[in-house]
């Protein structure tokens, strides 16, 4: 097998960490001795051992490590965080060579891991499937390089272009398969955001009851704190942040965050300060349009159903062609990428 083939296996392993490791990146590691994989590992949960540790520990004959090549999807860390530096571990094990997909743009690492390896006499090669590795960890790299969460805009619209009826009723435009897919997406991201109208008229839970995984942090935009306390969003079952212009206050699993003005910029800046790596914006139309106009979005996922309303609240406008189109039962899912 070639370098790219071993690295693809490492990328497959890294994927197992999706939804469990934020704000850390997903990382996979494969250890090869004489063209045979002798160890594998991935970063399984935030605060736990990194991919390299799991891979090294999985090798039955540790003596083989000194004549082995380590494939890792992201540059081994060089700093003490919740765990020791992985670059030091590979030096300690005296591995022969390390092949890296992408270098880490985190200032705490930023080439320092590679320097540790090279200074110890370990051969290092980087850039193998770099594009694929950066794409897999686009949430992590957006957080580091753009200083904001990776932002996904999501909505469902009727065939005639409405996201709700005139009375703001929007249940249910998409089919059951699409709704279950949305719950899967929620389990993969850190936070989910809605505006005041969506909270008031839909009374959503914003949880993952139709999937297995963690619930995202709920984010609500309610400038004047008009929303009633009896809504599902305020049941204290899931950490919930309420952006407003009146006051800051903290209760169990509920925090009011006062900002001078509620804009995509102020919201994303605050979420970034809380190490929230990714965000799904689920509405309503006015909030989604604000994010589109600000340019502060990375991905759009739009369900287009067979339903027709005739009249109602129009869907946001996006003047570009979809990057991907999928069929989800009777619904069409268009996916757009920004930039």
Q: Give CA–CA dist 11/203, Å, rounded.
A: 39
170 is in an annotated binding site: yes
68 is in an annotated binding site: no
218 is in an annotated binding site: no
77 is in an annotated binding site: yes
Catalytic hit among 52, 188, 189, 300: 52
223 is in an annotated binding site: yes
164 is in an annotated binding site: no
CB 316 within 8 Å of CB 292: yes
209 is in an annotated binding site: yes
Q: Give CA–CA dist 195/243, Å, rounded.
A: 10
Q: In the block, which residue shows the tokens 């897999």?
A: 136
Q: In the block, which residue shows the tokens 């309420």?
A: 242
Q: Counting every residue, how long is the chain?
A: 339
In angstroms, how far is CA 113 from the centroid of its own chain? Answer: 24
337 closest CA partner among 298, 294, 296, 305: 298
DSSP state of 24: S
Q: In the block, which residue shows the tokens 């320092």?
A: 112
266 is in an annotated binding site: no
Q: Give CA–CA dist 172/54, Å, rounded.
A: 44
267: left (phi over 0), alpha (psi -120 to 50) or beta: alpha
- 52 counts as catalytic: yes
186 is in an annotated binding site: yes
Residue list for the binding site for NADP(+): 156, 172, 198, 202, 223
Residues tagged in the binding site annotation for Zn(2+):
50, 77, 86
Annotated binding site: 50, 77, 86, 156, 170, 172, 186, 198, 202, 206, 209, 223, 282
Q: Which residues are annotated as a binding site for substrate?
A: 170, 186, 206, 209, 282
Q: Which residues are catalytic?
A: 52
């Amino acid at each position: 097998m070639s370098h790219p083939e071993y690295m693809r296996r490492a990328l497959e392993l890294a994927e197992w960490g999706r939804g469990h490791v934020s704000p850390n990146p997903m990382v996979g590691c494969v250890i090869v001795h004489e063209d045979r994989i002798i160890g594998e590992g991935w970063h399984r949960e935030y605060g736990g051992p990194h991919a390299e540790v799991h891979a090294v520990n999985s090798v039955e004959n540790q003596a083989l490590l000194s004549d082995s090549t380590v494939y890792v999807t992201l540059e081994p860390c060089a700093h003490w965080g919740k765990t020791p530096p992985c670059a030091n571990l590979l030096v300690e094990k005296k591995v022969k060579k390390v092949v890296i997909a992408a270098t880490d743009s985190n200032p705490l690492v930023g080439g320092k891991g590679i320097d540790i390896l090279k200074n110890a006499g370990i051969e290092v090669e980087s850039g193998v499937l770099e594009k694929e590795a950066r794409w897999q960890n686009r949430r992590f790299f957006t957080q580091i390089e753009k200083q904001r969460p990776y932002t996904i805009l999501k909505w469902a619209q009727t065939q005639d272009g409405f996201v709700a009826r005139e009375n703001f009723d929007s249940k249910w435009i998409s089919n059951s398969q699409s709704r279950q897919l949305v719950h899967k997406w929620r389990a993969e991201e850190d936070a989910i955001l809605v505006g005041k109208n969506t909270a008031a008229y839909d009374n959503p839970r914003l949880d993952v009851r139709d999937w297995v995984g963690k619930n995202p942090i709920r984010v609500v935009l309610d400038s004047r704190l008009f929303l009633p306390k009896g809504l599902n969003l305020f049941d204290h079952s899931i950490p919930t942040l309420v952006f407003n212009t009146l006051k800051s206050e903290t209760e169990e699993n509920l925090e009011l965050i006062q900002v001078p003005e509620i804009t995509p910029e102020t919201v994303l800046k605050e979420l970034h300060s809380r190490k929230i790596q990714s965000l799904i914006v689920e509405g309503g139309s006015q909030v989604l349009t604000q994010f589109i106009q600000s340019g502060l979005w990375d991905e759009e996922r739009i369900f287009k159903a067979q339903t027709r309303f005739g009249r109602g609240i129009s869907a946001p406008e996006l003047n570009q062609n979809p990057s991907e189109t999928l069929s989800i039962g009777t619904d069409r899912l268009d996916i757009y990428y920004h930039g």
